[in-house]
Structure 1
Amino acid sequence: MSTVAIVGCGAMGSVYAALMASAGHEVHAVTLWPDHAEAMRTKGLRVEGASGDRTVQLASAGTTTDAIGTCDLVIIATKAFDVEAAARSCVSLIGPETVVQTIQNGLGSPEIAASILDKDKIAVGVVGGFGASMRGPGHVHHNGLEMIRFGALAGLPLRRLQAAAKIWEHSGFKVHLFDDVQRMVWEKLIMNVTFSGTTCVTGLTIGGVMADPNAWQVALGCATEAIAVAEAIGVVLDVGDPIEHIRKLGGKIPDARPSMLLDHSAGRRGEVDAINGSIPRLGKQYGVPTPINETVVAIIKAREAGFAA
């Protein structure tokens, strides 16, 4: 069995933690939410949904990485804007054979982690189709159990990438390793860009956005701009018709409420800069108009300005 630290053990991180612990791995959870950490320590971590209904005991659960020690796999599952702090907190967890896997929405997180940690230890992770949400401290639900995709950021040896993949596979996850990490990231990004901002501004679920002609018009515009930017950059999306691909994946989790919507509903800052905001930034560089994403970002940021600090 392997030793795993999940730094940023929120909704998605808790799904990873529960399944890995169920498979017998030594799992340490780190979260910024003291009540979540306390519940996991005292009552166990309950995860229900597509993977079943289980309550597991973790090796540890807390708000810092203190006293965890060296791990085989470190998963940084924080929000994109917390990656820098998370990476700094992971230094004590990393040994010669450790793989550090960044799993965030949007663009830029692996590069932020690599500015602090050895880039040759970093794997870039992409997940989607889980629809995970917190039901309360120590309790998480998820709507799906789709594939985990990851690849090396720079010089991570294949044998160590494969060793990390085996931890996931042994825990019941489907895994696909990618050589073309940029394509992998963008194939997830177009999905996020389509639904994250649109659900956030409308309050609808993914299925609700797809069913409402007005909401879908906005979502489709966001997607079309993202696909155009990807083409301008030279990213080759291997998904067939990208819009049909988005429709198909969205149709699998119609009840899902993306994390940006969940954060917004709770009065918390979301990841709009890393997701929809990445499209206008790159669009300006490559001469691609992105007015719909720009508008969605502006609306969300205007609303967030009223949130408590």
Structure 2
Amino acid sequence: MRINQVGIVGAGALGLLLGERLVKTLGPEGVQFIADESRCRRYEQTGFQVNGQALRIPCVSAPRGKYLDLILFAVKSYDLPSALELIRPFVGPETILMSLLNGISSEEIIGEALGAEKVLYTVGQGMDATRVGQTLNYTVPGFWRLGEADGTESERLQAVVALYDQAGIAFEVCPDIRYQLWSKLMLNTGVNQTLAVLGGSYRVIHENQNDSRRIMRQAMEEVRKLAALEGVTIPEAEIDVWFRIVDSLGPDQQPSMLQDVEAGRQTEVELFAGTIRRLGARHGVATPINDWFYEEILKKSPPHSEGFGSRGLTD
């Protein structure tokens, strides 16, 4: 199995971050954004800038011929249902589907819609990419963890490994990918929401402004305790690992949730605090920090649909 044709749905920070590397490797004939016609026209007219360099990737609203080998979901959680319908014509029997979304639910939702056998798990960490308008800037590209749900090294996993190697995308193959998803959820629940509520760049965490490090740690502890009740044991030392990673990020960069708050957009609070609140209710565990995050972030952003965040967590 070899990956020659890649589709990316979503041209946010992560879509552009990977698109930049992939188009340099596969060329414009091997990478395409997938979007509706009006969005494609806008992408084609304006293009993008990544760290001051022009980036142009073709955009299509209908297949250009054969099915794609790999499709990356780089949308926000609330756009996932429409993204699933948009990419259906591009999905063939051998297409690999990978979600770059935060949280622990998107892979299940994609699998239910398009086939669980097509879904390969991935989670990114350590990047500080910030998109403003059509411009993306980053100082740390981060790296990706890849894995099958059952921990095996399949042919399709090896195909993605070969592509990432060729493109110079840093990665690690993880047989415990479910653990990695929970660990990343723990980070996002802590740092993204702390800064969304307190405001400011990563410098706020670096300098412990407004007691931010204590708040972030308490939020992450709530996730860690619930993960154990869901069968995933995360050692306390993992929190300190994430603090070291956050401390290495560009001090003037901001997480995407704060960018969404400042732009008046919907946020992914349902994926983070919403998920933890629902799991807390299921297990009878109090989640006071995430309750506070949830209420404060909803005050700052438009109303949210609970459909995505509640999938698989309310049974």
- TM-score, normalised by the number of residues in structure 1: 0.87
Contact 1:126/1:188, CA 8 A, preserved across alignment: yes
| Deviation for aligned residue 1:110 | 0.9
1:13 equivalenced with 2:10 (yes/no): no
Q: Distance in 2 between matches of 1:67 and 1:193?
A: 39
Equivalent-residue separation in structure 1 for 2:260 and 2:83 (angstroms) = 19
Equivalent of residue 185 in structure 1, options 181, 186, 191: 181
Task: Report the equivalent of 2:312.
Answer: none
Given that 1:4 and 1:27 are in contact with CA atoms closer than 8 Å, whether structure 2 keeps it comes out as yes
Match of 2:33 among 23, 29, 52: 29
Q: CA deviation at 1:272?
A: 0.6
- Shifted more, 173-182 versus 6-15: the winner is 173-182
Given that 2:151 and 2:175 are in contact with CA atoms closer than 8 Å, whether structure 1 keeps it comes out as no
Q: 1:266 maps to what in 2?
A: 263
Contact 1:222 1:293 in 2 (8 A): yes
Indicate yes or no: 2:40 matched with 1:41.
no
Q: Does 1:242 align with 2:238?
A: yes
Distance in 2 between the 1:259 and 1:24 partners?
28
The residue matched to 2:285 in structure 1 has which SS? Answer: coil
Give the match's secondary structure for 1:71.
Answer: coil
Matching of residues 215-230 of structure 1 within 5 Å? 215-230=212-227
Query: 1:86 maps to what in 2?
Result: 83
Letter matched to residue 169 of structure 1: D
Query: Counterpart amino acid of 2:31?
Result: V
CA contact (8 A) 2:17 2:141 kept: no
Write the distance in 1 (CA, Å) between the matches of 2:11 and 2:34.
Answer: 6
User: Bigger CA drift: 251-260 or 2-11?
Assistant: 251-260
Any idea what SS the aligned residue of 2:50 has? strand
1:159-174 matches, within 5 Å, as 159-174=155-170
Deviates more, 1:6-15 or 1:24-33: 24-33
Amino acid of the structure 2 residue aligned with 1:14: L
- Offset of residue 4 of structure 1: 0.5
Cα 1:177–1:223 shift into 2, 3 Å: same
Count of residues in Structure 1 that have an aligned counterpart in Structure 2: 298
Residues 14 and 225 of structure 1: CA distance in aligned 2, closer, same or farther (over 3 Å): same
Which deviates more, 225-234 or 192-201? Answer: 225-234
Following superposition, the deviation at residue 34 of structure 1 comes to 5.2
Residue 144 of structure 2 aligns to which amino acid in structure 1? Answer: I
Give the deviation of 1:121 after TM superposition.
0.5
Q: Is the Cα contact below 8 Å between 2:277 and 2:290 reproduced in 1?
A: yes
The answer (yes or no) to whether the contact 1:120–1:156 under 8 Å persists in 2 is no
State the shift of 1:249 in Å: 0.9
Residues 186 and 220, structure 2, Cα contact 8 Å, conserved in 1? yes
1:61 equivalent in structure 2: 59
C-alpha deviation, 1:305, in angstroms: 4.3
Q: Give the deviation of 1:171 after TM superposition.
A: 1.2
Amino acid corresponding to residue 11 of structure 2 in structure 1: C
Q: Do 2:127 and 2:143's aligned partners in 1 also have CA atoms closer than 8 Å?
A: no
Determine whether 1:124 maps to 2:127: no
Q: Decide which structure has greater strand share.
A: 1
Contact 1:120 1:153 in 2 (8 A): no
Identical amino acids, percent of aligned pairs = 26
- CA 1:135–1:31 in 2, change beyond 3 Å: closer, same or farther? farther
Cα distance in 2 between the residues matched to 1:249 and 1:217:
16
- Give CA deviations for 1:206-252 in whole Å, capped at 9, x if unaligned: 231342142222212111111111122221337x7122112111011
Aligned CA distance change for structure 1 residues 67 and 258 (closer, same or farther; 3 Å): same
Please give the per-residue CA displacement for 1:3-54, whole angstroms capped at 9, x wherever unaligned. Answer: 100011212101111110011341101357957x446424643311xxxx54
The answer as to whether partners of 1:119 and 1:154 remain within 8 angstroms in 2 is no
CA, structure 1 residues 136+68, in 2 after alignment: closer, same or farther (shift >3 Å)? farther
Structure 1: any 5+ residue segments left out of the alignment?
none
Task: State the Cα distance separating 1:300 from its structure 2 match.
Answer: 0.8
Equivalent AA in structure 2 for residue 61 of structure 1: C
Query: Which residue type is aligned with residue 22 of structure 1?
Result: K
Conserved in 2, the CA contact under 8 Å of 1:18 and 1:45?
Answer: no
Contact 2:34 2:87 in 1 (8 A): no
Q: Matches of 1:11 and 1:30 in 2, distance apart?
A: 15
* Equivalent residues of 2:120, 2:146 under 8 A apart: yes
Please list every run of at least 4 consecutive aligned residues from structure 1 whose deviation after the TM superposition is greater than 6 angstroms: 154-157
Residue 301 (structure 2) aligned to one of 299, 304, 308: 304
Give yes or no for contact 1:121–1:156 (8 Å, CA) kept in 2: no
Map 1:93-132 onto structure 2 (within 5 A).
93-132=90-129
Tell me if the contact between 1:12 and 1:133 (Cα under 8 Å) persists in the aligned partners: no
The 10-residue stretch of structure 1 (6-15 or 229-238) with the greater mean CA deviation from structure 2: 229-238
CA contact (8 A) 2:144 2:170 kept: yes
